[in-house]
Structure 1
Amino acid sequence: MVNPIRLGSTLLLATLGGLMAMATPAQAELRICNETANLVSVSLGYRAERGWMSEGWWQTPPGDCRTIFQGDLARRFYYLYAVDDIGGGSWDGQVFMCTRDETFTIFGVEDCLARGYERTGFFEIDTQNRTDWTLQLTESAGAPSIVGPDLGEDLEDPAFLVDPDEPLTPDNTDTQ
């Protein structure tokens, strides 16, 4: 026979644990989901406290998602460059930041080549001031495309707007 006091305590603890889990705020992050048939490598650029920075690489297998920025998205705009490791295609843009072939964290977007880095075109992600964002990298008739959190929103040709609080000069270097 089950002790009713022990059973009641167990149920109470399970209920409190469930309520506490529901009260825990959702984890905010920037996620990239690879909806292609090939492995994709992703790099991220954004305005950090010390200025512009870029970091990479997150390898994302087909059908999988990776968190590339953990925590509330403090900025409205983030910048992404991704490359299909098998097919050779890329998701890129006109906002230039520094990258390199190995894992990297690079501060600054100026003089990439002179500093020994590659100068790579990133595309802009407008998170619309949300604290959590998931982006899907897809192939559309063999060409890469990008789908934002609202599945009907095709961002294949994103507008490269710059947040007025995060100015870039025309050649995409930090003005500060």
Structure 2
Amino acid sequence: MGGAALPAAASFKLCNQSYDVLNIAIGQPAAESAGTSRGPEDFVTRGWWRVAPNQCATLLRDRLQSRYFYVFAADVFGKEALAGAVPLCVAPRRFAIDRQGDCLVRGFLDARFLEVDTEEQSDWTVFVSPRPG
């Protein structure tokens, strides 16, 4: 019996190799601005995924349409677990925020996301390591 080959799984994952439960948010270009020159207002942020130590979470389940994605990770006490520099909006509870900028004025929180270069791969995994001492 012959079977059709299944397409390779494509996704963006985060694996927690730290000793803490982490809350994860992701930022990505808005679908309508993918592949074009864009400013921070053209990004969408989503959260939260809770990832236990030594576990992984799939943040995006489709073929990656952008080279750069943005990840924010904090422990359950709010201490950042990834050092990032890109300011994007988050909210205290589950969220999907279109357009970035003026986070505080709009009632959101300002967080510093880590830029992840996926090297234009269709599948990517980010690993969060334990913080030094």
Task: Provide the TM-score with structure 2 as the length reference.
Answer: 0.86
Larger radius of gyration: 1
CA distance in 2, matches of 1:64, 1:86: 19
Higher relative contact order (CA 8 A, sep 6+): 2
Residue matched to 1:37: 19
Q: Does 1:79 align with 2:59?
A: no
| RMSD of Structure 2 on Structure 1 (CA) | 1.6
Residue matched to 1:134: 125
Q: Deviations over 1:100-156 (max 9, x none)?
A: 1100000011111111001111010000000000111011533xxxxxxxxxxxxxx
**Alignment coverage as a number of residue pairs:** 124
1:36, CA displacement in angstroms?
1.1
1:106 and 1:40, CA in 2 relative to 1: closer, same or farther beyond 3 A? same
- TM alignment of 1:95-110, pairs within 5 A: 95-110=86-101
Residue matched to 1:121: 112
Instruction: Point out where structure 2 has 5 or more consecutive residues left out of the alignment.
Output: 33-41
Of 79, 89, 93, which residue of structure 2 is paired with 1:88?
79
CA distance in 1, matches of 2:99, 2:66: 17
Check the 8 A contact 1:53/1:106 in 2, yes or no.
yes
CA distance in 2, matches of 1:79, 1:52: 10
* 1:116 partner letter: G
Q: Deviations over 1:43-85 (max 9, x none)?
A: 0001012431100000101111000011011000000100122
CA distance in 1, matches of 2:112, 2:131: 21
* 2:7 partner letter: P
Q: When you count helix as a share of all residues, which structure comes out higher?
A: 1
Tell me the percent identity: 31
* 1:103 partner letter: R
* 2:19 partner letter: A
